[in-house]
Amino acid sequence: MSKNRIEERRRPRIRQKLRRIMKCLWSGEQLRADEMAPSSESLATKDYAVSGYTSNAGEIDQKPDTGNIEEAESSLRESGCLNYEEARALLGRYEYQKGNVEAALHVFEGIDIAAVTPKMRLTLGRRGERHRRWSQSEATPPMSIHAVSLLLEAVYLKGKVVTGSWEAPAHNVDMEAAQSCKVILDLVESTLPEGLPENFGADCKLQETLNKAVELLPELWKLADSPCEAILSYRRALLYHWNLDVETTAKIQKEFAIFSFVQRRALAKQVEELFPGIMDRKDAYLTLSLCYYGDGDNLTALNLLRKLLSSGQDPHCVPALLMASKICGENPRYAEEGINFAQRALESLQGKCDEAVGVANCLLGISYSAHSRSVLADVEKVKRQSETLQSLENAGRKTRMRDPNIVYHILSAQKRFLDAETIINAALDQTGRWDQGELLRTKAKLQIAQGQLKNSIETYTQILAVLQVQNKSFEFWEEAFEGKSMGRFSFHLS
């Protein structure tokens, strides 16, 4: 008997079993063991029905839309059963599509994704191997790809309920929804670190669900008032190979640009206009200095930090000391003052965080290096260069050589320019294109130090390309804000 004929004969039995499962879920009736994988917990749909979320009796007998159960049918054909989590995912999607978002949320909250994550990971891993032809193993995965798709869609829909696109209840679940949505991406990214193969999950809704989850996660983090997590989610969406379509990618890029855009000088003006007592003086000085530094006005930022670090304010404020040292280290004219700030930071950090001590040592080394270029006496220059190397090596020990910026400075101080360039190249591979300006500038300087003028010109060309893209974006925002100043770039070509 042909495979197609066998499939045709099995299909009515599968549909009958599936309808039986759905009716049991709606009514709260317990399923037979041969129809559904048992769970130690009784179906949460029992209290769901009692709570009054279910449809009325007349609606229970309605047949679900065939389009809503295709994934479940595929799962039944492949595994012969629909387990507890899959059944809840199916019912939740059904309620969601009918517009009963409160009922859908109640059903979704009963799904224990953590319990099935190991099986989902194995299934996705084997699916990826088959697509890439790494392995010809015929081992049966613990779940069908349709079941994985169904469960991941349930997690996505749970997050979707609280975004405001639907009239969702006022649950305090923003953070939980973001964490749940993040589970989808963590699962896929950790299982397939090199990205999704082409046409992965094309025979089910998996790719579509991933596209939507990637787009939704930053919005959930914004609702949860976690801007840093939102930025990380945007970057993750654009850097990992999710097989996103062009429209989705463009939408994410646009939202990221809008979310990241802040007129720093305008923000500084808002802080300056606050009434006394609304904002702590120390916080105000720090915020203003960050705004002016981000806007390219280093001298104003440094003057604010000097006021904060005066004896009448807070001379031991570590963040201010570190920032002041950083600003001074960028200009040989203020390098000696930068040395003083970094040394004061180290005194305040005695016995405290090693990472912060490492940063302070690195800034001290940079200030020593900048100062060595301004002194005339050879003896003084050699002394400063020696102090530079010692400070940077201290920074490397404290940070266990994990920071490529510190490693680069150590190698440069040792005149190991080729090794330093290797470190910079590694850092470039891990950095988004918009954030590569400083690294490219450093790489060009290293190439000049090695006499590789042609290579340095090519590197500066890359910097100009980054600047051109940024400039086009800034021109758009200047028009949007009626020509207000957008500030200057934080790095220069020389």
Per domain, the residue ranges of the chain are 3-183, 415-494
Predicted confidence at residue 19, as pLDDT, reads: 56
pLDDT score, position 252: 92
Closest CA to 289 of 319, 313, 334, 315: 319
Across residues 18-28, what is the average pLDDT? 51
Mean pLDDT (the chain) is: 72
User: How far is residue 93's CA from residue 430's CA, in Å, rounded to a whole number?
Assistant: 38
* pLDDT of 321 higher than 90: yes
What pLDDT does residue 117 have? 84
User: Taking 90 as the threshold, does the pLDDT of residue 301 lie above it?
Assistant: yes
- Top pLDDT among 163 and 140 is at 140
Confidence of residue 90 (pLDDT cuts 50, 70, 90): confident
Q: What is the dihedral of CA 147, 150, 153, 158, to 10 degrees?
A: -110
Q: Which of 164-178, 193-207, 289-303 has the lowest mean pLDDT?
A: 164-178
The dihedral through the CA atoms of 176, 182, 188, 192 has a sign that is negative
Confidence at 96, pLDDT banded by 50, 70, 90: confident
b/e code 258-288 from CB counts within 10 Å (16+ = b) = eeeeebbbebbeebeeeeeeeeeeeebbbbb
Between 193 and 215, residue with greater pLDDT? 215
Q: Is the pLDDT of residue 38 over 60?
A: no
What tokens appear for 349 in the block?
A: 């950090």
What pLDDT, on a 0 to 100 scale, did the predictor assign at position 387?
Answer: 79
Given a contact cutoff of 8 angstroms between Cβ atoms, the answer to whether 419 and 411 are in contact is yes
**pLDDT recorded at residue 339:** 92
Is pLDDT at 425 greater than 90 in this prediction?
A: no
Which regions of 395-487 does DSSP assign to beta strands (E)? none
Cα separation of the two ends of the chain: 77
d(CA 411, CA 426): 14
* Total residue count of the chain as it appears in this document: 494
More confident residue, 400 or 372: 372
- What are the pLDDT digits (tens) for 233-253? 998 899 888 888 888 898 898
Report whether pLDDT(31) > 70.
Answer: no
pLDDT confidence tier of residue 462, bands split at 50, 70 and 90: confident
Q: Out of 34-38, 281-285, 304-308, 458-462, pick the least confident.
A: 34-38
**Rounded percentage of the chain residues whose pLDDT exceeds 70:** 66
Q: What is the pLDDT of residue 70?
A: 55
Mean pLDDT across 408-430: 65
CB burial of residue 65 (10 Å; 0-12, 13-18, 19+): exposed
Confidence of residue 34 (pLDDT cuts 50, 70, 90): very low
| Residues 6+ away with beta carbon under 8 Å from 93 | 68, 104, 150, 153, 154, 157
Mean pLDDT across the stretch 359-369? 86
- Average pLDDT (99-115) is 84
pLDDT at residue 12 greater than cutoff 70: no
Nearest of 279, 289, 294, 334 to residue 309 by alpha carbon: 289
Q: Which residues contact 107 (CB under 8 A, 6 or more apart)?
A: 44, 45, 48, 88, 91, 92, 95
- Residue 367 vs residue 480, higher pLDDT: 367
Q: Does the structure show a pLDDT above 70 at 33?
A: no
pLDDT band at 313 (very low <50, low <70, confident <90, very high): confident
With a pLDDT cut of 90, the percent of the chain lying above it is 9
pLDDT band at residue 306 under the 50/70/90 scheme: very high
Identity of the residue numbered 189? E
Residue 67 has pLDDT above 50, yes or no: no
pTM: 0.48
Q: What is the mean pLDDT of residues 339-364?
A: 87
Smallest Cα–Cα separation from 86: which of 152, 176, 162, 31?
152
Tokens found for residue 313: 């304010």
pLDDT of residue 120: 87
Residue 26 pLDDT grade (very low, low, confident, very high; cuts 50, 70, 90): very low
**Token pair belonging to 56:** 């009325």
Q: What is the DSSP track for 240-299? A: S-----HHHHHHHHHHHHHHH---HHHHHHHHHTSPTTSS-HHHHHHHHHHHHHHTT-HH
Q: What is the mean pLDDT of residues 341-348?
A: 92
Segment 378-387 mean pLDDT: 75
User: Any idea which of 22-31, 336-345, 416-425 has the lowest mean pLDDT?
Assistant: 22-31
pLDDT by residue (tens digit) across 468-491? 766 655 555 455 444 443 333 333
CA gap 48, 32 in Å, rounded: 20
Calpha distance 191→130 (Å, rounded): 14
CA distance 185 to 367: 42
> What mean pLDDT is predicted for residues 148-173?
68
Select the more confidently predicted residue: 339 or 274: 339
Of 74 and 356, more confident: 356
User: What average pLDDT does this structure show over 348-364?
Assistant: 85
